[in-house]
Amino acid sequence: MSVLTHLIAADVRRHRLLLAAWLTIVVATTIVDWARPILAADSAVGTIGILGSLLWLTQLLLMVVLVPLVVQTHPLIGSDAFWMTRPIPPGTLLESKAVLLAIVIVAAPTLAEALLMAAYFVPPAQIAAVAAQTALYQAFWTVLLMTAAALTPNLTRFALVGGGALAALALLFAGMLTISMMTMEDSPPMSGGGDTGEPTSGFVLTVFAIIAGLALLVVQYRTRSRIRSVPAGAAGLFLAFFAAPAWPWPILAPRLDVPVWVAAESTLRLSASAETVEVNEWTSPFSRRSTWSLARARVRLAGIEPKWSADVVLREAALHLDGGTTLASVGSGFQSAPPIEGSEERPTRGVLRQLLGVGRLVEPFPPGESAVVFFLRDADFRRLVPLTGTYRGRFQVRLTRHDLEATLPLQHGATHQNGAYRFVVEGVERTSASVSILARESDATSIFDRRPAPELSFYLRNRRASEAVAGFGRDPDQGFFLSGFLPFSYGGSRTSGFRARNLLIRFPPGYGDEKESFSIDDEWFEGAELVVVRAIREGSVERTLEIAGFPLRAASKSTPASAPGK
């Protein structure tokens, strides 16, 4: 038996109870994740959700304990470690620890998740992509724990270092938040809206952080000197944080398809009337006073194809006032969905009505907001009002394509599968005027997909009545189930990875608007079916908006007005 296999076997024997507990928890967690959606109609589903959360927490704690115990079996601090008197090469010792932890901490959970995805009929290619992402995350945390363990002589010191690191991160976050709030008044207001997430930077940072940790481990194992290993790891980590934002190749950037029809100048035209311009004070929730004013206008969009909707985001604008003064404004992420020219109907509502083939669509909708077209400091605004001028703004028009994902009968067992996405109706419950559908939903996405994650919405449709009503979908025991613990957030509409859950979809009789309320009676329900609609964010184009006679009027102290129409 070689030295490497002998060291691995010795560590397995020494930590066999903890290793067995870890593997048992991994298997148990996988079984609970598999059974939880299947037991959707069972009264024990809440208990299963709580059990799943407890297993996840136990697995996390076991990992935090198991990794340092394996590494510290052969301590790397000091010169009196027992293994130093034996002919054990440092490189072989590191290799044995890495192989054992890679199999137990990285490979075992990855394999369990792959088997779980196979049980939910996820295609093999998508299983491989999600498994690679899971292995990357597990490797990150394993290397992080190994580096902390290699720099401490025992589990007590390891816990102190870990606690100190968490406290330092908390203080750093608090300091950054305090500075951000102090400087918020001097910065343009931000809405928080953004484009589709770009995971390349986070992926590069994760990979380089793993390499930096491995470099620290190699130096520490060879020299047993923190004076040498810590600078090596710190240099690698500094390089990781420098390389990630400067990485020039967007290898994981989502592929956004700009449709051919947008090339014509007659498409996606923006227009607005000067009579609709309103100026409102912007008051930050973190400040007692207003330092900015926002100008809004009821922007209209023309020349968009069927099945497509759009929202607009200001990039930059200039206002040439009659007195010869020119004001400039830059964009700050505010987005709005402008109605189609000639119609006051909410844009996505018209698209969905045509897609569903109905004359009436009842759905919840927020008040239609006017688009932000300009903003300036209150001091400049008060100095200049009242004046008029010529406005010219550059906007990004971001497109969304809507398609029918599935049409299913309202009966138990109705199933739809599209790639990794699977939807199964478990039951239908009726009240006097509403409908609830209990279903199982599973999906698998990864940062390697190179496509934006779709957003799914659910509608109850009656073709004979030419009516449809939108539903609210939620996981009924979401509060009992903790999500995965990832090293970095990769953005996007939802966290990537494998997800299997219960889904309770409610279709109420109305949404508070007397004109939109209606009852789902027996006759309507008999001809009803469930329709799933998929919306995918696609590419964007730039368009300009010009407004003659743009007024700067006294700011209103009330909440910014909303655009009329639905």
| Average pLDDT along the chain | 84
Q: Distances from the Cα of 343 to the Cαs of 191, 274, 299, 367, 397, in angstroms?
A: 27, 18, 12, 16, 19
Check the CA dihedral 125-126-131-134 and report its sign.
positive
Which has the higher per-residue pLDDT, 17 or 253? 17
User: For residue 13, what pLDDT is reported?
Assistant: 94
- And the tokens for 354? 């045509």
Separation CA 28–CA 24 (nearest Å): 6
Residue 45's identity, in one-letter code, is V
Give the tens place of pLDDT for each residue, 83-126. 556 667 888 999 999 999 999 999 999 999 999 999 999 999 99
CA-nearest of 9, 15, 55, 58 to 32 is: 55
- The distance of Cα 48 from the centroid of its chain, to the nearest Å, equals 26
Tell me the CB-side half-sphere exposure of residue 231, using CA atoms within 13 A.
4
What digits encode the pLDDT tens for the residues 228-258?
999 999 999 999 999 888 898 888 988 888 8
Q: Of 4, 15, 19, give the one whose Cα is nearest residue 99.
A: 4
Identify which of 12, 15, 57 has the alpha carbon closest to the alpha carbon of residue 32. 57
DSSP designation for 285: T
Average pLDDT over residues 446-454: 88
Three-state secondary-structure class, residue 24: helix
Average pLDDT score over residue span 344-368: 81
Closest CA to 251 of 201, 301, 213: 201
DSSP state of 87: -
CA distances from 226 to 95, 217, 317 (A): 19, 10, 55
What is the C-alpha separation between 344 and 79, in angstroms, rounded? 79
The closest alpha carbon to 330, from 265, 298, 376, belongs to 376
Q: What does the pLDDT average to over 440-445?
A: 94
Q: What is the rounded CA–CA span in Å between residue 164 and residue 187?
A: 34
Cα 450–chain centre separation? 15
- Mean pLDDT of the 154-183 span: 85
336 — pLDDT class (breaks 50, 70, 90)? confident
For 231-290, list the strands marked E by DSSP.
269-271, 278-282
Q: Distance of CA 556 to CAs 30, 93, 290, 378, 419, Å?
A: 56, 71, 12, 12, 51
Residues in the chain: 566
Question: Is the overall model pTM greater than 0.75, yes or no?
Answer: yes
DSSP bridge partners of 477: none
Task: Write out pLDDT tens, residues 300-326.
Answer: 999 999 899 999 999 999 999 987 889
Give the model's confidence band at 477: pLDDT under 50 very low, under 70 low, under 90 confident, else very high. Answer: low
Which pLDDT score is estimated for 527?
Answer: 92
Provide the 10 A C-beta neighbour count for residue 61.
Answer: 11
pLDDT category at 490 given cuts 50, 70, 90 is very low
pLDDT tens-digit series, residues 250-280: 889 888 888 999 988 789 999 999 999 988 8
CA-CA distance, 352 to 365, in Å (whole number)? Answer: 13
- Dihedral of CA atoms 257, 261, 264, 266 in degrees, nearest 10, equals -120
For the stretch 205-224, pLDDT in tens is 999 999 999 999 999 998 88
Cβ atoms within 10 A of the Cβ of 17, count? 8
Interior CA angle at 139 toward 134 and 140, to 5°?
100
* pLDDT of 543 strictly over 80: yes
The structural domains of the chain, with segments of one domain joined by +, span 3-153, 198-253, 260-346+360-393+542-552, 402-485+493-539
pLDDT at 292: 81
Assigned token pair, 43: 């009264």
Query: What value does the mean pLDDT take over residues 430-455?
Result: 89
Rounded Cα distance, 34 and 27, in Å:
11
Q: What is the pLDDT of residue 189?
A: 67
Whether residue 497 contacts residue 508, with contact meaning beta carbons closer than 8 Å, is answered with: no
236/47: higher pLDDT: 236
CA-closest candidate to residue 423, choices 432, 414, 431: 414
Pairing of strands 360-362, 467-470: parallel
For the residues 163-187, what does the mean pLDDT come to? 79
Lowest mean pLDDT among 41-50, 428-437, 487-496: 487-496
DSSP bridge pairs for 401: 308, 536
Q: What tokens appear for 32 in the block?
A: 């609970």
Of 46 and 55, more confident: 55
In single-letter form, the type of residue at position 222 comes to R
pLDDT at 341 exceeding the cut of 60: yes
**Measured distance CA(253)–CA(201) in Å, rounded:** 10
pLDDT per residue over 512-529, tens digit each?
A: 554 556 778 888 999 999
Strand partners, 537: 400
Whose CA is closest to 221, among 113, 310, 133, 95? 95
The answer to whether 434 and 509 have CB atoms below 8 angstroms apart is yes
CA distance 107 to 484: 17
Query: What is the Cα Rg of the chain in Å?
Result: 29
Q: What are phi and psi of 154, to 5 degrees?
A: -155, 175
Please state, in angstroms and rounded to a whole number, the distance separating the CA atoms of residues 210 and 197.
22
Q: Residue 511: which of 330, 303, 365 has the closest Cα?
A: 365
